[in-house]
Chain A
Amino acid sequence: MKLKEGFVLRTICGENVISGEGTANINFSKLISLNDTAAFLYRKAKDIEFTPETLAGFLTEEYEVDDETALKDAKVLCQQWIDAGIAE
């Protein structure tokens, strides 16, 4: 899977959020909030093809987490991104 074009991770009001952005417009009416870990993974996954296993790899590299938990969390996150329409 990959992250869809047209979304940008930015900090709004001190929170990591994904907003829809074109070259001419930024849409602040629908913002998707990410915690720090999800924001870290979003940055890593930008511009690459990835699977839950890829994200789990990033998690175990960066955080002290076992493979099984990392994969479980990565799968949940991937599904949330698909449901939110920011990944396909």
Chain B
Amino acid sequence: MEKWVVSNDLFFADVVASLQEGRTVTIPVKGYSMLPFIRGGKDLVELEIPSMPLKPYDIVLFHVGTEADGKWIMHRILKVDGDNLTIQGDGVTRGREHVKVSQVKSRAKTILRAGKTPVDPYTKKQLTLVKIWNFFRPLRPFILKAYRMLPWNQGWLKENR
């Protein structure tokens, strides 16, 4: 299958427009900053218009930077303080983003894994896993390194390199 590479800005403008039509939108994701919960290049994410107020643990798609030179990122909310959000990728060991609620354009509704039942990332079970994952944050670099070395993860990680 041929891969069609388009500018993120054009792509997400269409995604947001489709969300505003009142439908959810399924998109592929790139990158490893949401490992191990979302595997870039392998999983799909169903997006929805976020219901307000946003909450900690929500996985959100947001825009940072200027309109002409910006970036689209999907990470998880750590903290909500009024209009200010602190966000971090599950697979990120240090960096955090500080954004305004208005920068959030969408929220992940479902994570789709080939051949598996779609995952609602906000069930009690999933959130418990996230809390355990966050508890071990200082160990993330080591756990992620081990995760990448697992034989069943080698194939898709190599394909998306």
Contacts and interface: CB of A to CB of B under 8 A. Distances in A.
A21 B22 CA distance: 13
B4 A25 contact: no
B26 interface: yes
**Interface majority SS on A: helix, strand, loop or mixed?**
strand
Contact of B11 (A12, A21, A27): A12
A60 to B, nearest CB: 29
A1 interface: no
A55 B14 CA distance: 30
A31 B6 CA distance: 12
Contacts, number: 43
B28 A33 contact: no
A13 B11 contact: yes
A47 B14 CA distance: 26
B106 interface: no
B10 interface: yes
Contacts of B14: 12-13, 28
Interface of A: 12-15, 21-29, 31, 33
Interface of B: 4, 6-7, 10-11, 14-15, 18, 23-28, 44, 46
